[in-house]
Structure 1
Amino acid sequence: MISGGMEVEVAEDEPWIDVDLSDQMVYAYVGRELVNSFLVSTGTWRTPTVTGQYRIYVKYRYTDMAGPGYYLPDVPYTMYFYKGYGLHGTYWHNNFGTPMSHGCINLRTEDAAWLFDFASVGTLVNIHD
């Protein structure tokens, strides 16, 4: 299956996540079937979201996040897929559809909860422009 110009190899019944940076959208698939979609905010031009194919390596119901100029306690429904990059709920803004993050993929908290229940450690995350 081709997604964002990249070949995505998944089993017919395998859940996976597609992140379209150009459209600021996340799509949840099972095999080739689209099961849900969400408007998101990804990294800015100064702190871009990585592109490529990754797998979720850890999930946290709540976790603290910190970096240069920010400290965010109890970030909900966090799923890391590459180094400090993750998909997570966002309580500090409601400006979805506009790049706002330090590289992570910000979702509305209720959307992040759905995605958290949908995905497992090992779920493919495909990120493209």
Structure 2
Amino acid sequence: MSSNWVRYAGAFLASTLLTLTVLGISAIPTFAAPLQEEIAERMMELQSSDNRWISVDLTNQRLIAWEGGSQVYAVIISTGKKSTPTRQGVFTIKSKHRTDRMRGEGYDVPNVPYAMYYEGSYAIHGAFWHHRFGTPVSHGCVNVAVNHARWLFDWASVGTPVIIHD
């Protein structure tokens, strides 16, 4: 290997790790993390576009609505507790429902407001049954205060990217 290539690769890796750290993504220098790489690449693509997209930060319990590289809305959320975690990944909003009934092991909640499903039964939705935002308490969904969920519901459309990361 040439020393120029090694310098270039080292500089690229350092720059990428710095960018990930600034974006709030865990920047662990490993090549065995394809999901983290996919998340980082997609976030960089979206930040250099004009597209609307949603970032869910599991570590800080924050949701940020973006238009390209500009933050347009930020809220404190509640994601999945340890026993029912919120999955990390790159998703898109598949369907939207003004209200929906959500059922699972140990819960059955009718009239859940402003549900936006992004993967199977996982959704970003309003939560009127608790006020513990900032703390992971859900069964894997992204809980948002109802007034914020309404804003997000009106702003996002089917197909809006949702990036969930540490």
The answer to whether the superposition gives a TM-score over 0.5 is yes
Instruction: State the TM-score, normalized to the length of structure 2.
Output: 0.75
> Is structure 2 residue 150 aligned with structure 1 residue 113?
yes
Instruction: State the TM-score, normalized to the length of structure 1.
Output: 0.96
Deviation at 1:87, TM superposition (A): 0.1
Deviation at 1:12, TM superposition (A): 2.6
Which letter maps to 1:103? G
With 29-38 and 3-12 compared, the bigger mean Cα shift is at 3-12
Partners of 1:94 and 1:106 lie apart in 2 by 10
Gaps of 5+ in 1: none
Partners of 2:49 and 2:136 lie apart in 1 by 32
2:80 aligned to which of 17, 23, 43: 43
2:56 aligned to which of 2, 6, 19: 19
Aligned-residue CA RMSD (Å)? 1.3
1:97 aligned to which of 120, 127, 134: 134
Deviation at 1:13, TM superposition (A): 1.9
Gaps of 5+ in 2: 1-18, 27-39
Partners of 2:128 and 2:59 lie apart in 1 by 23
Aligned to 2:11: none
Deviation at 1:58, TM superposition (A): 0.2
Deviation at 1:118, TM superposition (A): 1.0
Which letter maps to 2:92? R
Partners of 2:107 and 2:120 lie apart in 1 by 18
How many residues align? The count is 129
Greater C-alpha Rg:
2
Higher fraction of helix: 2
Aligned to 2:65: 28
